């Protein structure tokens, strides 16, 4: 069963690596679609945010260019692609301006329930990228 996640402007800003004001301006300008929840908060559907994060990354650095790497090499972001094979899988995450691709087992992807539009964290150690579901 699939439940598409939606993100507040603040959450989207963190995933895009920009300030909430920048994300709000992009939403006001119609660059990314929003809708309101019962409490009146503006939300962005996960699939829309995934597509927009790719667009932003391809456009180069945003207004607020900064590193999204922590000391533990964790890249919180949004899943932008999941390609399943018989045994292996490929997952792409857009973490601010960084696009990370991880090759892992299909079983791991299914156990984590990874889908496009979902928030996830890529953790990098040497040449391996590990995905944590948030």
pLDDT tens figures, 83-111:
999 999 999 999 988 999 999 999 999 99
Mean pLDDT of 2-19: 87
Mean pLDDT of 110-121: 93
Burial letters 91-118, b for 16+ CB under 10 A, else e? bbbbbbbbbbebebeeeebeebebbbbb
Euclidean distance between the first and the last CA atom of the chain, given in angstroms as a whole number: 18
Q: Is the pTM of this model over 0.85?
A: no
Q: What is the pLDDT of residue 18?
A: 87
Closest CA to 16 of 58, 44, 52: 52
User: Alpha-carbon distance 81 to 90, whole Å?
Assistant: 8
Q: Which residue has the higher pLDDT, 39 or 127?
A: 39
DSSP state at residue 83 = E
Q: What is the pLDDT of residue 67?
A: 44
Q: What is the pLDDT of residue 72?
A: 62
Tokens 């603040």 found at? 10
Residue 6: both structure tokens together: 């939606």
């Amino acid at each position: 069963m699939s439940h598409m996640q939606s993100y507040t402007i603040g959450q989207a800003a963190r995933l895009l690596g920009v300030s909430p004001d920048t994300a709000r301006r992009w939403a006001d300008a119609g660059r990314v679609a929003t809708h309101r929840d019962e409490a009146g908060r503006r939300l962005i559907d996960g699939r829309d945010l995934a597509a927009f994060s790719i667009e932003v990354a391809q456009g180069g650095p945003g207004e607020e260019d900064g590193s999204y790497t922590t000391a533990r090499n964790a890249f919180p972001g949004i899943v932008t692609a999941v390609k399943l094979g018989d045994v292996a899988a490929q997952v792409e995450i857009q973490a601010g301006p960084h696009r990370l691709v991880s090759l892992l087992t299909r079983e791991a992807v299914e156990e984590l329930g990874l889908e496009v539009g979902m928030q996830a964290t890529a953790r990098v150690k040497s040449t391996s990228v590990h995905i944590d579901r948030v």
